[in-house]
Amino acid sequence: MSMLTIRNLDEAIKGKLRIQAAQHGCSMEEEVRRILQRAVSAPSPQKGFGTRIHQRVVAMTGGFDLPLPPRTPPRIVPSFGEDE
């Protein structure tokens, strides 16, 4: 097992942690282990912005496919006064 030291912890936080540990019937050290375990094992609640937009559009419209426009050759780059 590893050991972790937390420096400069605010006294108010330490006090709240002590009370929370007592309410759960465990030591402060065990309470911190439980908090850290929940924090790192929780799945990420947020998805990307584009994914969230896509999900909303699909939910509102049932989803749809847009027709792809035909591909055309690229335009010729203009020469701005340069002699060729």
* Tens of pLDDT, residues 22-38: 999 999 999 999 999 98
> 73 in a domain, yes or no?
no
Residue 61 lies inside a defined structural domain of this protein: no
The residue segments making up the domain with residue 18 are: 9-43
The pLDDT tens digits of the residues spanning 52-82 come to 888 888 888 887 788 899 999 999 988 888 6
Query: How many domains does the chain divide into?
Result: 1
- Residue 28: inside a domain, yes or no? yes
Closest to 30 in 3D by CA, of 62, 22, 73, 72? 22
Identify whether 66 is part of a domain. no
What's the mean pLDDT in 15-26? 95
Residues ≥6 apart with Cβ < 8 Å to 27: 21
Residue 2 placed within a domain: no
For residue 83, tell me if it sits in a domain: no
26 within a domain of the structure (yes/no): yes
Distances (CA, A) of 11 to 14, 16, 24, 45: 5, 9, 20, 30
